[in-house]
Amino acid sequence: MSRTDPLGQALERHFGWTSFRSGQRPVIEALLAGRDTLAVLPTGGGKSLCYQLPALVREGLVLVVSPLVALMQDQVHHLRRRGIAAACLHAGLPREEADAVRRSVGDGSLRLLYLAPERLQSQGIAQLLRDALARGGLVALAVDEAHCISAWGHDFRPRYRRLGELRALCPGVPMLALSATAAPRVRADIIRLLALRRPLVQVSSARRANLQYTMRLRPSDPLPQVLDAVAAARGARLLYVRTRRASDTWAARLRENGVAACAYHAGLDSGDRHQALRHFQQADRPVLVATSAFGMGVDRPDVGLVMHLDLPASAEAYLQESGRAGRDGAGADCVVLFHPEDRQRLALAMRASVMLQAGEETAERLAWSQRQLRRMEALAEGEGCLEQGLLLSVGEVVDPCGRCDRCLRPPAASDCSDGVRLILEQLPEAGSADGRRLCQELQRSRAEQDLQWDWLVRRLVEEGLVGESEDGGRRLWLTAPGRHYLRSPWRLRFGRPQAA
């Protein structure tokens, strides 16, 4: 950093850091030049700084929309400790405090104002914006976790749709959208729905060189594997389960085995939730057993293990959750234990939750989320590099990582040609067959071969030899390549998923 680098100087003066992280400087410069920006930087990549520093450099106000109150409070707390004037407005704030916040906007002393998305509708906010604008002190509008605006993101929040209106109130102010994982389709949605004008799109690699991925078959009771992984990992450890009940049960089982573990899920009362969070943030080597309700904004840098005890719902969601490991840059393990039945269970839960949200595009979104799930399963059951497969699903093409379980211990491939032929021959020339019945019949007549027929069918779907219906493969048919294969077969070798 040189004397003539005012941004670097501001970074050091306000935060005490001597260099920018990858992607931060171009984003900050674009914003200061008045340009709209979409920043896709990995978890822990330092997205907050991208909107905090411009407020300080310009001595003006930056408005930040953020999805969770806890997340806002946490950031405000950290900023105030650095002597930076920051505040948040949310429904739970006492009236006097909200008034004080408004005054600090009015007199120009506030630098960062965090808003919960539900506040956007309120009249007061529009007035506040006009005031700040009239003073000429509105530096930027920032939208954190911007993927929440897209129905094709992994955390759709319909309220985020109102952010377009915010923009309409102050068209001349540059807007910054931030996200850790946004697939190309989600990026396009963010740009369109926020009406970003010829934005700078700054995308840093989602590759995390310090994370080691493993995906293995879950045994009927994975307690020994969980205990081993938990004991072997450094720092804090995070287990993800699908249901609230599993969260409670697993926390109890771990405690019975001498591991101080806490449950965390949306069903806890606020006292218990706080206690679990405190445990996770402050204990020396905490273990938290959480549903996916947990995570956003919890910034513990030394998480040495993120372990999923079910198949994750999508690669995007998985990258977000596993990304909480190793924010300090030191090595960390990301482990998934899955079972062939996980997809059916998850698909049902998904259907229920998408139906609850209702609204536009319901059927299409449901089909889309089932496809994401199907791809996640294919990745878990496949043979390729895990990091490569995960990143490909968010639009990034990389070489095999050489670090993951698949790269280090590739599953032994065996010749499956006989089984393949048996399956393809059972499928009718025209129309389709009942997938489940087909597998049951093969199991009954050919059990001696010890083949998991449903697994092999899924592999053939991946290979394009078999087509399957989107309801989780209840109908199967022979594709043109499948017919071709029957006429002139070649040797097909597949590696079975390995047990944990």
CB of residue 283 to ligand ADP, shortest distance in Å: 19
Q: Residue 100 carries which side chain, given as an amino acid letter? A: A
Q: Does 47 bind ligand ADP (CB under 6 A)?
A: yes
Dihedral of CA atoms 285, 289, 293, 299 in degrees, nearest 10, equals 10
The C-alpha atoms of residue 320 and residue 181 are separated, in whole angstroms, by 7
DSSP letter assigned to residue 267: T
Q: Which does 419 bind (CB under 5 to 8 A by kind): ligand ADP, Mg ion, none?
A: none
CB of residue 18 to ligand ADP, shortest distance in Å: 8
* Residues in region 417-476 near ligand ADP by CB under 6 A: none
Q: Does 80 bind ligand ADP (CB under 6 A)?
A: no
CB of residue 11 to ligand ADP, shortest distance in Å: 6
Q: Which does 294 bind (CB under 5 to 8 A by kind): ligand ADP, Mg ion, none?
A: none
Q: How many CB atoms lie within 10 A of CB 371?
A: 12
Q: Does 43 bind ligand ADP (CB under 6 A)?
A: yes
Q: Does 207 bind ligand ADP (CB under 6 A)?
A: no
Q: Residue 204 or residue 249: which is nearer to ligand ADP going by CB?
A: 204
Measured over all CA atoms, what is the biggest interatomic distance in the chain, rounded to whole angstroms? 81
Tell me which stretch binds ligand ADP (CB under 6 A): 18-26, 90-98, 125-133, 345-353: 18-26
CB of residue 148 to Mg ion, shortest distance in Å: 12
Dihedral of CA atoms 121, 127, 131, 133 in degrees, nearest 10, equals 40
Q: Which does 44 bind (CB under 5 to 8 A by kind): ligand ADP, Mg ion, none?
A: ligand ADP
Q: Does 300 bind ligand ADP (CB under 6 A)?
A: no
Answer for which of 27, 38, 40, 41 binds ligand ADP (CB under 6 A) is 41
CB of residue 302 to Mg ion, shortest distance in Å: 18
Count interface residues toward ligand ADP (CB under 6 A): 13
Angle (CA) 468 240 231, round 5°: 125
CB of residue 324 to ligand ADP, shortest distance in Å: 9
The C-alpha atoms of residue 389 and residue 391 are separated, in whole angstroms, by 6
Answer for which of 30, 49, 176, 336 binds ligand ADP (CB under 6 A) is 49
Between the alpha carbon of residue 299 and those of residues 247, 258, 294, the distances in Å are 21, 26, 12
CB of residue 167 to ligand ADP, shortest distance in Å: 22
* Residues in region 31-60 near Mg ion by CB under 5 A: 47
Among 392, 378, 394, CA closest to 462:
378
Q: How many CB atoms lie within 10 A of CB 358?
A: 8
Q: Residue 14 or residue 47: which is nearer to Mg ion going by CB?
A: 47
* Residues in region 241-270 near Mg ion by CB under 5 A: none
- Per-residue contact track with ligand ADP, 244 to 283, x per CB under 6 A? ----------------------------------------
The C-alpha atoms of residue 459 and residue 345 are separated, in whole angstroms, by 20
Given a contact cutoff of 8 angstroms between Cβ atoms, the answer to whether 438 and 474 are in contact is no
* Residues in region 69-98 near Mg ion by CB under 5 A: none
Q: Which does 49 bind (CB under 5 to 8 A by kind): Mg ion, ligand ADP, none?
A: ligand ADP
Q: Does 45 bind ligand ADP (CB under 6 A)?
A: yes
Residues 6+ apart with CB under 8 A from 254: 226, 227, 230, 261, 287, 289
Dihedral of CA atoms 343, 344, 350, 356 in degrees, nearest 10, equals -170
Q: Residue 298 or residue 478: which is nearer to ligand ADP going by CB?
A: 298
Q: Residue 143 or residue 230: which is nearer to Mg ion going by CB?
A: 143
How far apart, in Å, do the first and last CA atoms of the chain sit? 48
**Residue corresponding to tokens 């930087």:** 41
DSSP secondary structure of 30-95: HHHTT--EEEE--TTS-HHHHHHHHHHHHTSEEEEE-S-HHHHHHHHHHHHHTT--EEEE-TTS-H
CB of residue 328 to ligand ADP, shortest distance in Å: 9
Tell me which stretch binds ligand ADP (CB under 6 A): 13-21, 59-67, 101-109, 111-119: 13-21
**C-beta nearest to ligand ADP: residue:** 46
CB of residue 111 to ligand ADP, shortest distance in Å: 16
CB of residue 47 to ligand ADP, shortest distance in Å: 3
Task: Tell me the residue ranges of DSSP E strands in 67-219.
Answer: 86-89, 112-115, 138-143, 175-179, 200-203, 211-217
- Residue 499 DSSP SS3: strand
Q: Does 37 bind ligand ADP (CB under 6 A)?
A: no
Q: Which residues bind Mg ion (CB under 5 A)?
A: 47
Q: Which residues bind ligand ADP (CB under 6 A)?
A: 17, 20-21, 24, 41, 43-49, 299
